[in-house]
């Protein structure tokens, strides 16, 4: 049984200009102890997908799904209070900005103990002892004295460690890390990633690593999901995806990595992620795709199994009949593409 099963999840925000689809038909499965990397540009819906899982989609967003099952329990039919018993205990989340993610008015110790007392029913003393252990586990020196510190007295890296300690306090089965290193110094980034990976291995917990940094994904994830404009574009084993990207978007993202650049200039993807008003009729990536045809501009591709994973493209890069298909769909544009 999979730890997490999501089928056809969408999140919509009503705006003055109409309904904005932040997440559009996302389906994914995660096994126990698996590490999944979720990548995509800003606004691709990767954070909102996970917030929907946590039940934290900000007002006035609406969540819809065919299936949302965690650890064998249906999150869709669960009452709010039952769901709260799950969040923070079995599934926990850490965020991008550690310093603003901690309450400035309460001490580290209070915020840590709060989780323990709520979910584990610990008394003050037990929670205090456990808090010290947790801070030591996440590598905070002189843990006991730090308990009485306020978030503004610690550095960003330290605060992120506190956030991690808080998240793993109740031994969650799934940890969602939403760009956990983006706001930190490069040297600290590596430390925090190491810490997360060690904790993941030790406890065999599922880990979803949301990032826009392909390097982070390559170092951590076994499986990678590439998102674009709220949709999954490609989802495959990390090794395969890096070796032979199947979706033109994935290929373009990888080509934009500095270490893969050839010559003096970095490759870029022209254009921006479509917004509310310029959402294409066909494939959402078609306006920026070098291989777009009349067919892909008019017909939106379905998410389908491909090369050991899933893909949402009419013409996957590894498809032997790709050129023939493109020629058939768009005789005029085919020469330019090849």
Alpha carbon distance 146, 154 (integer Å): 9
Assess 134 for contact with another protein (CB under 8 A). Answer: no
Which one of residues 52, 92, 175, 209 is an interface residue with another protein (CB under 8 A)? 92
Q: Which residues contact 84 (CB under 8 A, 6 or more apart)?
A: none
Alpha carbon distance 180, 215 (integer Å): 14
Longest dimension (CA), the chain: 75
Structure tokens at 11: 């999140």
Assess 39 for contact with another protein (CB under 8 A). Answer: no
Assess 166 for contact with another protein (CB under 8 A). Answer: yes
Which one of residues 85, 129, 281, 328 is an interface residue with another protein (CB under 8 A)? 85
Binding segment for another protein (CB under 8 A), chosen from 8-16, 80-88, 201-209, 240-248, is 80-88
Alpha carbon distance 275, 223 (integer Å): 28
Assess 114 for contact with another protein (CB under 8 A). Answer: yes
Binding segment for another protein (CB under 8 A), chosen from 63-71, 113-121, 125-133, 206-214, is 113-121
Count of chain residues binding another protein (CB under 8 A): 32
Assess 100 for contact with another protein (CB under 8 A). Answer: yes
Q: How far is the CB of 245 from another protein (least distance, A)?
A: 33
DSSP code string of 154-183: S-HHHHHHHHHHHHTTT--SEEEEESTTTT
**Residues in 261-280 at the binding interface with another protein, rule: CB under 8 A:** none
Neighbours of 254 (CB within 10 A): 17
Assess 15 for contact with another protein (CB under 8 A). Answer: no
Q: Which residues contact 59 (CB under 8 A, 6 or more apart)?
A: none
Between the CA of residue 244 and those of 41, 76, 234, 251, what are the distances in Å?
A: 20, 37, 12, 8
DSSP H or E run through 309: strand 309-311
Q: How far is the CB of 87 from another protein (least distance, A)?
A: 4
For 122, how many CA atoms within 13 A lie in the half-sphere containing its CB? 18
Assess 163 for contact with another protein (CB under 8 A). Answer: yes
Which one of residues 152, 187, 258, 270 is an interface residue with another protein (CB under 8 A)? 152
Residue pair 184/157 in contact by the 8 Å Cβ criterion = yes
Assess 310 for contact with another protein (CB under 8 A). Answer: no
Which one of residues 21, 84, 222, 327 is an interface residue with another protein (CB under 8 A)? 84
Which one of residues 102, 147, 154, 303 is an interface residue with another protein (CB under 8 A)? 102
Assess 120 for contact with another protein (CB under 8 A). Answer: no
Binding segment for another protein (CB under 8 A), chosen from 30-38, 146-154, 194-202, 312-320, is 146-154
Structure tokens at 301: 């591709």
Assess 93 for contact with another protein (CB under 8 A). Answer: yes
Provide the binding-site residues for another protein, judged by CB under 8 A: 54-56, 58, 80-81, 84-89, 92-93, 95, 97, 100-106, 114-115, 118-119, 150, 152-153, 163, 166
């Amino acid at each position: 049984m999979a730890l997490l099963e999501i089928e056809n999840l969408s999140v919509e925000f009503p705006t003055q200009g109409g309904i904005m689809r932040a997440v559009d038909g996302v389906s994914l499965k995660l096994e126990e102890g698996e590490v999944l990397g979720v990548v995509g540009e800003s606004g691709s819906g990767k954070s909102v997908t996970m917030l929907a899982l946590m039940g934290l989609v900000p007002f006035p967003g609406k969540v819809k799904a065919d299936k949302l099952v965690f650890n064998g329990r249906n999150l869709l039919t669960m009452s709010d209070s039952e769901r709260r018993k799950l969040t923070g205990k079995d599934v926990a989340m850490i965020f991008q900005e550690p310093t603003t993610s901690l309450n400035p008015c309460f001490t580290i110790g209070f915020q840590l103990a709060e989780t323990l007392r709520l979910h584990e029913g610990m008394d003050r003393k037990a929670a205090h002892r456990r808090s010290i252990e947790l801070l030591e586990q996440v590598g905070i020196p002189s843990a006991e004295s730090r308990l009485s510190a306020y978030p503004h007295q610690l550095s960003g890296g330290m605060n992120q460690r506190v956030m991690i300690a808080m998240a793993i306090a109740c031994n969650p089965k799934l940890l969602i890390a939403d760009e956990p290193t983006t706001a930190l110094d490069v040297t600290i980034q590596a430390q925090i990633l190491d810490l997360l990976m060690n904790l993941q291995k030790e406890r065999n917990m599922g880990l979803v690593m949301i990032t826009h940094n392909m390097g982070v994904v390559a170092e951590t994830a076994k499986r990678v999901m590439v998102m674009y404009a709220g949709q999954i574009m490609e989802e495959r084993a990390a090794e395969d995806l890096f070796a032979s990207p199947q979706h033109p978007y994935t290929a373009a993202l990888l080509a934009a990595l500095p270490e893969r650049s050839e010559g003096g200039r970095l490759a870029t993807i022209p254009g921006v992620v479509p917004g509310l008003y310029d959402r294409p009729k066909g494939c959402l990536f078609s306006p920026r795709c070098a291989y777009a045809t009349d067919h892909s501009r008019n017909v939106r591709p379905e998410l389908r199994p491909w090369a050991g994973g899933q893909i949402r493209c009419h013409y996957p890069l590894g498809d032997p009949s790709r050129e023939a298909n493109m020629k058939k769909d768009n005789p005029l544009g085919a020469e330019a593409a090849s």
